[in-house]
Amino acid sequence: MPVTEVVTDPEALTLTVIADFTVPVRRLWDAYVDPRQLERFWGPPEYPATFLRHDAEPGGLSQYYMTGPEGERYHGYWKWVAVDAPASFEVRDGFAHDDGTPNTELPEGRMVLDFAETALGSRVTITSYFESSEDMEQILAMGQAEGMREAMGQMDAVFEDLASFAAGRGTELQLIGDTQARTYRIVRGSREQVWRAHHDPELLRRWQLGPDGWTMPICEVATEVGQRYRSGWENSADGQRFGFTGVVEEISPPNRSVTTEAMWTPEDPDAENSPVTINELTLTPVEGGTLVSLLITYPDAATREMILATGMVDGMETSYARLENEVLAA
């Protein structure tokens, strides 16, 4: 078991968990900031976690739920306070309602994770700070100490599965519930480079083309909340045209943006008859480049199935490969 020590201090109102691993510090750090890896161990084995949002930035927010044996869901959140990569980060953590809003009837605490190199690899020290002895007793009675021990017991298997999280795997798809889908891709470039490539019209026209044979004559970007963007592609062989349009709902360069999206065609140029999705783009620095995560929320399950069946993921992979080879490598 990686957990080597669990210490409760009623006077200091703290719970401290220490775990050691035979991997470099950066590998351990990435396990916590990469939601693909964090989902593999944050919940105990019988309560796996699903992260809907994970912003490893001061002022950021993480939202997740754990699914129980009978399908019941237990929601939680992290409010990111401080980040010193790859040495430490601090969050406020608490329980949430089904809609993600904090459940104020249960305690919110402070959690600090410190990462350090050891002779055999690395160590993480997790210290939970409680507001009162009552809060501490309540959380410990809910099994936090044992839950963390069980959860972290899964981390060695995550570290052994190096190939699943390495750069070069291509674009991957994760279905969440009935109406959401998330794509992942590590792009070999800094977060600032990847963000610029997503918001610079000249660069977008060079890589966001999908299959060969298409051009992007329309590329109107939006970089502020409330602004509308519009993109359009044309097939060089037959002149077929289509595109997307939407509005920026949130934006926090170079980390995160949230936009609406609807498809337009020459027959429906204002996309009035197209289903609207919510697209949440998050960029996270990891070993090997930048993890590009796109969470798409569809209006219903049928719409998700229809859009994914168009070969969307394959088209994204072609574009991301072009981004690496023709933009970031230039």
Q: How far apart are the first and last CA of the chain?
A: 46
**What mean pLDDT is predicted for residues 300-322?**
95
Query: Model confidence over 35-56: pLDDT tens digits?
Result: 999 999 999 999 999 999 999 9
Query: What is residue 318's three-state secondary structure?
Result: helix
Q: Which amino acid is at 265?
A: T
- The tokens for 199 are 């918001």
**What mean pLDDT is predicted for residues 111-123?**
97
Please give the distance of CA 90 from its chain centroid, rounded to a whole number. 18
What gap in Å lies between CA 273 and CA 164, rounded to an integer?
39
Q: Are 254 and 270 in contact (CB under 8 A)?
A: no
Residue 212: pLDDT band by 50, 70, 90 thresholds? Answer: confident
What gap in Å lies between CA 152 and CA 146, rounded to an integer?
10
pLDDT at 162: 87
Residue 1: pLDDT band by 50, 70, 90 thresholds? Answer: low
Q: Are 245 and 234 in contact (CB under 8 A)?
A: no
Residue 207 scores a pLDDT above 70: yes
Domains along the chain with CATH numbers: 3-163 (3.30.530.20), 172-328 (3.30.530.20)
Residue 327: CA atoms inside 13 Å, Cβ hemisphere, count? 26
DSSP-assigned letter for residue 132: S
